[in-house]
Amino acid sequence: MATPTKSSTDEFIKGLWKDNPVFVQVLGMCPVLAVSNTAMNALAMGLATAFVLVMSNIVVSSLRSFIPKQVRIATYILIIATFVTVVDYVIQAISLDLYKALGAFISLIVVNCLILGRAEAFASKNTVARSVMDGLGMGVGFAFALFCLGAVREILGNGTLFEAALFHDSFQNWVVMILPSGGFFSLAAWLLLFNWLEQRKAKKDEKATLALSEEAAQ
């Protein structure tokens, strides 16, 4: 839980990188893998999830003193399901192609553990303003991660980005990246990258503290 000294900007920033929902917390994996076969799908899914996350955070945090403890999970799920239904119909109205590409995964935003997790861990204990910032940060972080994954898969698997060709005709598409297994592989690669960065930072910190203590000893 956040300490009161943290500003709301910090709540926003933490979701982007340090506590990135996908790469660091490994939450909400199902849509991440399923709809990240092109950058466009990934971005649309990320934005839809971000919208539901922010809206449900607002409602949960403004109702937090009225919801009885015993039925809070059921209440959260109903609130989330309402907004997901809204998103479902909105996407259907805006672009039928996108709706077909995302399929049942729009409805499945309901069971994305990220959203329920933020409602339970953050929005139910914090003010509306802070919850909005938290929802925005986590949502944008989620969309960013999805986009990273989708871009890699589309570039390698299809040779395009947002349907614009990137390579010369002689480029051989890595078909496996578009297939389900490609989702697992590219996610694994991103996780490796994050782990590696994390470890490098930890080592640097260690060295810095070691140097400090040596200086102090002298």
Which residues in this chain contact other proteins in the complex, by CB under 8 A? 26, 29-31, 33-34, 74, 77-78, 81-82, 84-85, 88-89, 104, 107-108, 110-113, 116, 176, 179-185, 187-188, 191-192, 195-196, 199
Closer residue to other proteins in complex, CB, 40/177 = 177
Nearest distance, CB of residue 187 and other proteins, angstroms? 5
Least distance from other proteins to the Cβ atom of residue 165, Å: 26
Question: How remote is the C-alpha of 173 from its chain's centroid?
Answer: 27
Least distance to other proteins, CB of residue 63, Å: 17
Residue 165 or 176 having the CB closest to other proteins = 176
Helices within the chain (DSSP H only): 8-16, 29-34, 39-62, 72-94, 96-102, 113-118, 128-158, 175-178, 180-217
Q: Least Å distance between CB 168 and other proteins? A: 28
Pairing between β-strand 160-161 and β-strand 164-165 as defined by DSSP bridges: antiparallel
Beta bridge partners of 164: 161
Beta bridge mates, 13? none
* Least gap, CB of 188 to other proteins (angstroms): 4
Phi, psi of 52 (to 5 degrees): -60, -40
Task: Return the number of the residue (43 or 84) whose C-beta is nearest other proteins.
Answer: 84
Q: Please give the distance of CA 72 from its chain centroid, rounded to a whole number.
A: 23
For other proteins, which is the closer residue by CB, 114 or 140? 114
Give the span between the Cα atoms of 127 and 55, in whole angstroms: 14
Which C-beta is closer to other proteins: that of 92 or that of 160?
92
Residue 97 near residue 106, CB atoms below 8 Å: no
